Amino acid sequence: MFKKISGALIFLSLIGSANAQYVNLSGNNEYIKQYVEASPENWDKSLMYVFYTNEPCSTCAEAMGMIYDIYEEYYLNQLSLFEINYAVNDEFQFRLSYELDQPLSVVLVRIRDGLSMGYYKIDNPQQWVGNPFYFKENLTTRINNFLNM
């Protein structure tokens, strides 16, 4: 029992310390329906969105490159990656759905049996660019925690 409690406390401290949040949200939206219906392997393959905006951000491009490298190395077969400029009018529903208001956010969406079961949002990962080791460890820990929930 202590292991479960301490594991939960560690997970909660990670969530709180990184401007991240897990939201349990059963259901579906039109994009997720299209994604799942497009291919049978998407039925249980979760999503990784990298949301950005047109706001000035000196380290966002570098952070996006680091995120993509981590995705390619570790998560290519577990997650589908999409980069989306949420400031564009056609993508406004993402801003509302995931409460986006930062220049860079990573949103992980759990897909189970073809439905969205919840998401985990990490705001401002560009703040870790100055320490590549920390960036990689922090991001992979958060993604792994999400995938193993």
Q: Which residue has the higher pLDDT, 58 or 11?
A: 58
Give the best-scoring range by mean pLDDT among 26-35, 51-60, 63-72, 97-106.
63-72
pLDDT at 91: 79
- Tracing tokens 């409460």 back to the chain, one arrives at 99
Cα–Cα distance for residue pair 113/140, rounded to 1 Å: 24
Q: Note the pLDDT tens digit of each residue in 120-146.
A: 999 999 999 999 999 999 999 999 999
Amino acid at 147: L
Mind giving me the DSSP string for 20-43? EEEEEEEE--HHHHHHHHH-GGGG
Helix (H) or strand (E) holding 141: helix 132-147
Tokens representing 57? Answer: 């951000």
How far is C-alpha 105 from the geometric centre of its chain's CA atoms? 7
Is the CA virtual torsion 20, 22, 27, 32 positive or negative? positive
> 50: which strand partners?
83, 106
- pTM score, two decimals? 0.79
Q: What is the pLDDT of residue 41?
A: 83
- Domain coordinates in residue numbering, the chain: 2-147
Measured in whole angstroms, the distance separating CA 25 from the mean position of its chain's CA atoms is 14
CATH match for 2-147 among 3.80.10.10, 3.40.309.10, 3.40.30.10, 1.25.40.10 = 3.40.30.10
Total residues belonging to the chain: 149
Query: Which residues, at least 6 apart from 85, have a Cβ–Cβ distance to it below 8 Å?
Result: 51, 52, 53, 54, 91
